[in-house]
Amino acid sequence: MGEYYLDKIAAYLRDNSRLSFTGHKRTTLRSRLETRIAELKFSTFADYWGYLNSHDSETARLFDLVTTNETSFFRNRAQFSFFGEHIIPRFVQMPAVDKGTIRVLCAGCSTGEEPYSIAMTILESLCVPDSMKIEIVAGDLSRGCLKEAEAGFYETGRLKNLPKGYIDSYLEKTGDGAFVRKEVKELVRFVHLNLNDLMNPHSTDSRDQLGRFDIIFCRNVMIYFSSSCQQMLVETLHQMLFTGGYLFTGDAEPLHLFRHEFIPVEDADCLIYQKTEMSANARTSR
């Protein structure tokens, strides 16, 4: 009976977020649910299933519970180096860039280290920061992570991967950590983002609200979906990029396993892809 209700909870997560809990991930789901059940002083998965269906607020708590929020500043330094040294300068030099704006989506932003790393990299790359408008939209399924990201405070141990000099330039140090400075935070807008909504083929509302982007970071996110959902996500991200835009994926997420129209960026020694086909929705037509 316990397995039956565990299956129902896994199906609920799949239907509402497309997160897949099969194989070893099922063990993770079981462990985290057992912790939550103990907190609620329940005895069984059936008890929790009943609670989940009678308390709307528990869905957000469940999403917080099951999402893995492993992140750090400047994770995969090679990608950030190429981003700052090659990609941002390319956009600065493009005469077709509309109104001097660069739009970046950070999907699965967790507790904020990634979008703040993106913002700092852009600021370092622009000789005159005010010469371009920067819009970084950072989204995550976990509202708890978003709350922490918006606060912008990180303990000392979480600052170890920042490049030399960045703490002094972009953060305000305290006794036990540092706050992200206002000029960095102002570049980032945090939003609650359920990728299930973006991948829904029958509704474009969520995609329309976010708009389209020049650059998308979707790293270490696809691995939490089933293969069929991963394919849908790749197609969705392609639709959300302007022609000429770039997609950054995680180390374990090469796109050769999927049907796609991206091309690898050959001069990058890391996983970066570009949307190159011509279409009616290219940058020059917006």
pLDDT tens digits, residue range 77-106?
999 999 999 999 988 877 555 557 899 999
- What's the pLDDT at 128? 61
The two tokens of residue 192 are 């609650």
pLDDT at 271 over 80: yes
Give the distance, in angstroms, between the CA of residue 100 and the centroid of all CA atoms in the same chain: 24
User: With bands split at pLDDT 50, 70 and 90, how would you rate the model's confidence at 74?
Assistant: very high
Mean per-residue pLDDT for 113-135?
Answer: 87
Residue 284 has pLDDT above 50, yes or no: no
Distance CA 135, CA 107 (A): 14
Longest dimension (CA), the chain: 63
Average pLDDT over residues 261-280: 83
Higher pLDDT, residue 185 or 202: 185
Residue 65 is predicted with a pLDDT of 87
Split at pLDDT 50, 70, 90, the class of 238 is very high
> Per-residue pLDDT for 285 more than 60?
no
Sorted by sequence, the CB contacts under 8 Å of residue 104 that are 6+ apart come out as 115, 118, 122, 134, 135, 136, 137, 213, 214, 215, 216, 217
21 — pLDDT class (breaks 50, 70, 90)? confident
* pLDDT surpasses 60 at 279: no
pLDDT at 281: 47
Q: Which residue has the higher pLDDT, 254 or 122?
A: 122
- The answer to whether the CB of 1 falls within 8 A of the CB of 49 is no
- Residue 282's pLDDT is 44
Q: Please indicate whether residue 252 or residue 109 has the higher confidence score (pLDDT).
A: 109
Percent of the chain with pLDDT over 90: 63
**Where residue 280 falls among pLDDT bands split at 50, 70, 90?**
very low
Q: For the chain, which domains are there?
A: 2-66 (1.10.155), 77-285 (3.40.50.150)
DSSP state of 256: G
- What's the whole-number mean pLDDT along residues 189-205? 83
Q: Which helix (H) or strand (E) holds 35?
A: helix 24-39
Look at 53 and 2; give whichever has higher pLDDT.
53
